Amino acid sequence: AKKYLTYEERAKLATNPTASKLFNIMATKKTNLAVAVDLTRKQEVLNLADSIGSEICVLKTHVDIIDDYDQDFVHQLEQIASKHNFLIFEDRKFADIGNTVKYQFESGVYHISKWAHMVTIHGVAGPAIIDGFRDSIKQTGAGLLLLAQMSSKGSLCVGEYTNQMIEMGKQNSDAVMGFICQERLESMSDNFVLMTPGIQFNSKGDSMGQQYNTPDYVVKEKGTDVIIVGRGIYQNSEPKSEAIKYKQAAWAAYESRLN
Ligand code: 5FU
């Protein structure tokens, strides 16, 4: 059987500052729940963030789906994040050459590098994509999450590609805080945070390829660290009490795997 360390112990092993910070927040707040707030009006995102902020370790955004995005949105979200002690994760899925992703990260409408504690990147362009983030994250300590596996049906992030992503993470463990994945593989060392989307209690999937598992399955059986829940929470009529249910299930799964 696998030997699981506590999140406190993992915080000490982390090689990226945001990974360490996240493990500590999880341990302090006793939550390994991240919420994907895929709402399209800024006030809706902010209201939900404030209402569930005490229950989560991370709030995941797709800022490019917000119709009325502006600088004030980011400013307010940062205030809510510091009030409730959670981190902001922009799920941008950067995938281009280093020089282009540097512009996409730092410039344009969103200036993601100025406010995101972590962002996702694909490895299709090869490991030099990471060089596009280096200047910026040297200053901020932000973390990169490598997409090692995806939740959707027919995903091509499998097998040897997944192994290469893990290798890319290990070769760049100062910048890389962890992986987006569906399972803990033996080669994923304890300094990395493993985050898993595709989580819902009441559905097996949607009509566009999404596939769902339960918190208990991914954290206890598959050994990942943080569950990412979207529609299961923000589409519920009582998002706060539903968030508490996911938080409790994911935390119980974490505690039971330690024994
Ligand atoms: F990398 C991934 C992935 O493999 N699957 C995902 O679903 C990211 N996601 C994101 O998690 C996706 O873009 C949504 O923002 C979120 C899942 O939302 P749901 O409503 O819980 O399906």
Q: What is the ipTM of this complex?
A: 0.99
Neighbours of 157 (CB within 10 A): 20
pLDDT, one tens digit per residue, over 127-180 is 999 999 999 999 999 999 999 999 999 999 999 999 999 999 999 999 999 999
Q: Is residue 21 annotated as a catalytic residue, yes or no?
A: no
pLDDT at 258: 95
* Residues within 6 Å of ligand 1 by CB: 36, 38, 62, 91, 147, 150-152, 180, 197-198, 210, 228-232
Neighbours of 234 (CB within 10 A): 19
Closest atom, ligand 1, to C-alpha of 229: 21
pLDDT at 3: 86
Closest atom, ligand 1, to C-alpha of 200: 21
pLDDT at 1: 59
Please state, in angstroms and as integers, the Cα–Cα distance from residue 235 to each residue in 39, 134, 238, following that order: 9, 37, 8
pLDDT at 206: 97
Q: Which residues contact 125 (CB under 8 A, 6 or more apart)?
A: 95, 96, 97, 98
Protein residue with its CA nearest to atom 21 in ligand 1? 230
**Cα separation of 124 and 94, whole Å?**
10
Protein residue with its CA nearest to atom 5 in ligand 1? 151
**Residue 151 annotated in ligand binding:** yes
End-to-end CA separation in angstroms for the chain: 11
Find, among 125, 166, 117, the residue nearest to 146 by Cα: 166
Residue 121 β-bridge partners = 94, 146
Q: What is the 60 CA–ligand 1 centroid distance (Å)? A: 10
Asked if residues 140 and 113 have their Cβ atoms less than 8 Å apart, the reply is yes
Low pLDDT (below 50) residues in the chain: none
Please state, in angstroms and as integers, the Cα–Cα distance from residue 74 to each residue in 70, 114, 142, 243, 259, following that order: 7, 10, 16, 23, 41
Residues in the chain: 259
Protein residue with its CA nearest to atom 1 in ligand 1? 150
